[in-house]
Structure 1
Amino acid sequence: MAYADLGEVRLFYTDDAPDAAPGAPSPDPVLLVHGYGADSADWSFHIPALAERRRVIAPDLRGHGRSSAPATGYRTADFTADLVALLDRLGVERVVAIGHSLGTLVVSALAVEHPDRVRALVCVDPGYGQPEEVAAYFPAMYDGLAADPYATALANDAWCYTPASPRWLREWHRRKILGTAPQALAEAFPAMYRGEGAFGVRPAAERYLAGRACPVLSCWSAAQAGSAAWEGGLFKHPASRAEVWPGGGHRLHAERPEEFLFVVGAWLGDIDKEMSA
């Protein structure tokens, strides 16, 4: 079934799994969490390869894509609670969670608040860890999102690309933004960085992310290279690492899907070996 009714929200999701022999051991499922103003189709490049070996669950967050859009409830904690409810509905105890942008805050909150549910994290050009000097520009965006969410979100999207970013990717995400509920655009971005429970800006990010005990692989775009070194000081698990992708834009996983799959697959392979040792 492609939809899960979870009380106040109805989530669209896909659930793919390899054909496995009965009783054969299988690695932890993968949970794919897209970013702000996007949807689970962001992972179209990755699901077929990941599903050759693992069960892969890819939801649309509330207010995004094909999921329903309540009038309110677009904090990181709200998105995380929805995903916990979805995993419960599907009978999934533990996942490898892969998130992009806003999705990195959601999967990090899942790892901190529900550590038994997360085996490992992959965070793609995280939305967390913004320096205070960068966050100083955000209030103007908050006001713009409140007044005209679509125009403001589209204008903000311009920074996500490099000259090498394909034109189709820009248009694909322009259409995704236009397909996102206005209240989700207006509320989700500010909720990452201000208000109760927000941990997008340092030093709140440092305090909160230090609670991630599981292995973390973070892949940072060239524009946020300084943040990789910052995050490296927060890791608790020895298998964790933060790396910069030279030339990568904000959606580096979509720009370079085969490379992304190779890097993530090799890292998860090492994690799986450690778990079985």
Structure 2
Amino acid sequence: MSIRTSISTNTSTNIWTELMGQDLSVRHVEIGGWSTRVLEAGMGEETLVLMHGIGGHLEAYARNIVPFARRYRVLAFDFPGHGYTTHAVADIELPDYVAHLGALLDAYGVDRAHLSGESLGGWVAMKFAAAHPDRVGRLILNTPAGNLSLPEVRERIRSLSQAAADDPSDERIRARLEWLMADPATVTDELVGTRRTIYARPGFARSMRHIMCLQDADVRARNMVTDADLEAIVAPTLVVWTSDDPSGPAKTGLDIAAALEHGRFELITGAGHWPQWEQAEHFTALALDFLAE
């Protein structure tokens, strides 16, 4: 395991501005029984899959897609029950997310991909890499969930998320997003509007309740990333933690990297739970360097 600390500054722009100039498609694809919203960009020989966190949507990676697409075929998608993918009508646990990811790769004819996941996305990436090592090239895990279960954090995520889904007002949406960030100023009006539009869809509040099952102690316990999972991951892995992550201390990321056969740890300062958003330029540079090794 290697450890490095990185410092960067934030630049804040518009989601659409970030995506301008890049040919891309956003469409719904039937994947494993879910009408899944998928963004595809780039024409590289290798595929990079981007996976957002719990209660999130593919726009979480809006500031990284264009530079990634210059080298890779990029797939970013809304998880089951999330974003504009079909609403959940029953609880969704890690085996469901893992199966959906496998079905997505199959639908796009991808035998082997690099996986980059934030929070829940990192959790899914680890579980998938442990179960299907032959289908994973490299892993990038930024503030991944699944290795820690702090009651106060679980309750905070559940209460903020469900409140925002039940009453998708600017105030409640902003409160949920600002919890993710080191600097509340990085929560732009556009980001609030994007999430409010998603959360205000009929049926989304019910879907959120099924998504939030992972904040129940018993459900979370049976879905946690185990020592056996970490031992089974053979892909080179970059674990990114931040100076201001609200989900847990940097030691969590250090422990993950130390347990992996080919783990590397990076600490990014000036970011919370979304380093790919708050410190987009530097996060992207780290990821591209790692993927090119």
**TM-score interval w.r.t. the shorter chain?**
0.7 to 0.9
Q: Label 1:107 to 1:176 Cα distance change in 2 as closer, same or farther (>3 A).
A: farther
Q: Any residues of structure 2 matched to 1:70-85 within 5 Å, and which?
A: 70-85=88-103
In terms of mean alpha carbon deviation, does 141-150 or 73-82 score higher? 141-150
- TM-score (norm: length of structure 2): 0.76
Q: Measured at CA, do residues 143 and 89 of structure 1 come closer, stay the same or move farther in structure 2, by a change above 3 Å?
A: same
Preserved contact between residue 160 and residue 176 of structure 2 (Cα < 8 Å): no
**Farther-moved stretch of structure 1 (170-179 vs 50-59):** 170-179
2:241 is aligned to 220
C-alpha separation between the residues in 2 aligned to 1:164 and 1:143? 19
Q: What is aligned with 2:229?
A: 208
What's the counterpart of residue 12 of structure 1?
37
Contact 1:33 1:100 in 2 (8 A): yes
1:216–1:145 distance in 2 versus 1, CA, 3 Å: same
> Percent identity among equivalent residues?
23
- Paired residues of 2:48 and 2:75 also in contact (CA < 8 A): yes
Q: Quick one: higher RCO (CA 8 Å, sep 6+), 1 or 2? A: 2
Work out whether residues 10 and 68 of structure 1, in 8 Å CA contact, stay in contact via their aligned partners in 2. yes
For the residue of structure 1 that corresponds to 2:183, the secondary structure is coil
CA distance in 2, matches of 1:264, 1:128: 21
- Native 8 Å contact 1:31 1:57 kept in 2: yes
Return closer, same or farther for 1:163/1:111 CA change in 2, 3 Å cut-off: same
Query: Would you say 1:236 and 2:256 are equivalent positions?
Result: no
Contact 2:162 2:205 in 1 (8 A): no
Aligned to 1:138: 154
Q: Is 1:187 paired with 2:205? A: no
Native 8 Å contact 1:11 1:61 kept in 2: yes
| Whole-Å separation in 1 of the counterparts to 2:185 and 2:156 | 27
Give unpaired runs (5+ residues) of structure 2: 1-24
Q: Which runs of 5+ in 1 are unaligned?
A: 21-25, 271-277
Distance in 2, matches of 1:112 and 1:118, equals: 9
Q: TM-score, normalised by structure 1?
A: 0.79
For each residue in 1:234-267, what CA deviation from the matched residue of structure 2 results, as whole angstroms up to 9, or x when unmatched?
1112xx2122212211111111111111111111
Counterparts of 1:178 and 1:55, CA distance in 2:
29
Amino acid aligned to 1:90: Y
Alignment match, 2:188: 168
The one-character-per-residue Cα deviations of 1:71-114 (angstroms, maximum 9, x if unpaired) are 12421221221121111111110000001111111111110111
Contact 1:149 1:186 (8 Å CA) reproduced: no
**Secondary structure of the equivalent of 2:38?**
strand
Task: Name the SS for the 2:259 alignment partner.
Answer: coil
CA RMSD of aligned residues (A): 3.0
Residue 16 of structure 2 is matched in structure 1 by: none
Measured against aligned partners, the alpha-carbon deviations of 1:94-148 in whole angstroms (never above 9, x if no partner) come to 0000011111111111101111111111011112222x5x236636865887798
Match in the other structure for 1:263: 286
**Alpha-carbon distance in structure 2 between the residues aligned to 1:207 and 1:84:** 20
CA contact (8 A) 1:38 1:177 kept: no
Is the CA contact (8 Å cut-off) linking 2:28 and 2:38 kept in structure 1?
Answer: yes
The residue identity in structure 1 corresponding to 2:151 is A
**Partner residue in 1 for 2:84:** 66
Cα pair distance change 1:262/1:143, threshold 3 Å: closer
Cα distance, 1:140–1:267 mapped onto 2, change above 3 Å: closer
